[in-house]
Structure 1
Amino acid sequence: ATPLPRTTAAGPAPANGADAAQRAKDAAPASAHIRSLPGATGAAAADFDAARVAAIREDIRAGRYQVRPERIADGLLASVRDLLGPKREGGNE
């Protein structure tokens, strides 16, 4: 059997140094574009909790993190309701 390529949270591990350098070079324009978007560092940065991310990362490493599909579904439904809500002004709800 052929071993699978090693992957990380960021994706597949680069095959060699030249490949990694090319990926970094290709990612730079996208990264700069994302940082230039309105609100990319404002509200999103305020919502980011580094301590919470570190705690979740540790739980994943230790095998304690549990995915709760019902919670994910509830969050997705709430997001859809928020997106659809303003467009149905004056509608029958």
Structure 2
Amino acid sequence: MKIDPPAPSPTPLHRTPATGVAAPATGTEAVERPKEAAQASAHVHSMPAAVGGSDFNAARVAAIREDIRAGRYEIRPERIADGLLASVRDLLDPKGRE
């Protein structure tokens, strides 16, 4: 039986504006990336409010997180499958297209 060597640990990547090519972040760049990510995240979360509404329900998300932590969250594959099938039907429905 052959056992592969362990994969290398992930290295944070960032895009350079001039080339647009991803390169590993090193030194202080790696430390500063979480700050930029937090700012971007805050900006993204403020966007739905700026356009007049949001489908985000913070109380529901908090309840789901707590259920996951407590081991009470129940995944129902049949409900997921039904939702996916309904979505595909909507996409394929010629009546819905103009």
Q: Give the alignment's TM-score, normalised by structure 2.
A: 0.49
Q: Which amino acid letter does the alignment assign opposite residue 68 of structure 1?
A: R
Gaps of 5+ in 1: 6-15
Question: Is 1:75 aligned to 2:83, yes or no?
Answer: yes
Bigger helix share: 1
State the Cα distance separating 1:64 from its structure 2 match: 0.5
- The equivalent of 1:56 in structure 2 is 64
State how far apart, in whole Å, the 2-side matches of 1:17 and 1:63 are: 38
Aligned residues: 69
State the Cα distance separating 1:74 from its structure 2 match: 0.7
State the Cα distance separating 1:21 from its structure 2 match: 1.7
- The equivalent of 1:19 in structure 2 is 30
- 4+ residue runs of structure 1 moved beyond 4 angstroms? 26-32
* 1:8-47 paired onto structure 2 within 5 Å: 18-25=29-36, 41=48, 42=51, 45=54, 47=55
Gaps of 5+ in 2: 1-5, 10-26
State the Cα distance separating 1:51 from its structure 2 match: 0.8
State the Cα distance separating 1:25 from its structure 2 match: 3.6
Q: Give the alignment's TM-score, normalised by structure 1.
A: 0.51
State how far apart, in whole Å, the 1-side matches of 2:88 and 2:76 are: 19
Q: SS in structure 1 opposite 2:68?
A: helix
Identity of aligned residues (%): 53
Larger C-alpha radius of gyration, 1 or 2?
2
Q: What's the RMSD between the two structures over aligned residues?
A: 3.7
Q: SS in structure 2 opposite 1:65?
A: coil
CA offsets, 1:46-89, max 9 Å, x none? x211111110000001010011111111111111112222xx24
